């Protein structure tokens, strides 16, 4: 079973994502803030990370940079999910190392398709 880390400070959004992912056969862990997300992302064994950009403590771009710098996590797929939806924000996120970028609000079918694509 593939394991996904959700780094999201909005508990309602994280719960919806978790429930939908679990219904689709994924094992899920939630990190509610940037520090926890960074620690779990670097030291946990995940197949993919869903990462919010605007987090308490550590922001998502810093977490992404640290994940890309780790020898064991450099190739770990990371999808940014954020309320920042301008073209500039998307370019910064993708150029910063993200494999994909989804602006909130988004549909769960789209999220699942993007996860499947990132895990291929």
Taking only the tens place, the pLDDT of each residue in 20-59 is 999 999 999 999 999 999 999 999 999 999 999 999 888 9
Is the preceding peptide bond at 105 cis, omega within 30 degrees of 0? yes
Residue 85 has pLDDT above 90, yes or no: no
- Residue 23 burial (CB count, 10 A): 10
Residue 91 has pLDDT above 90, yes or no: yes
Which pLDDT band, with edges at 50, 70 and 90, does 75 fall under?
very high
- Region 84-105: mean pLDDT is 94
Contact 57, 7 (CB under 8 A): no
pTM passes above 0.75: yes
The token pair at 18 is 């978790």
Q: What is the pLDDT of residue 57?
A: 87
């Amino acid at each position: 079973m593939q394991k996904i880390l959700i780094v999201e400070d909005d508990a309602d959004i994280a719960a919806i994502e978790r429930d939908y992912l679990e219904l689709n056969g994924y094992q899920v862990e939630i990190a509610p803030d940037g520090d926890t997300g960074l620690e779990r992302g670097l030291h946990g064994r995940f197949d993919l990370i869903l990462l919010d950009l605007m987090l308490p403590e550590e922001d998502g771009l810093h977490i992404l940079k640290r994940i890309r710098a780790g020898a064991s996590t450099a190739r770990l797929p990371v999808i940014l999910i954020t309320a920042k939806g301008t073209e500039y924000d998307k370019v910064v996120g993708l150029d910063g190392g993200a494999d994909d970028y989804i602006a909130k609000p988004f549909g769960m079918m789209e999220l699942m398709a993007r996860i499947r694509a990132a895990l291929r």
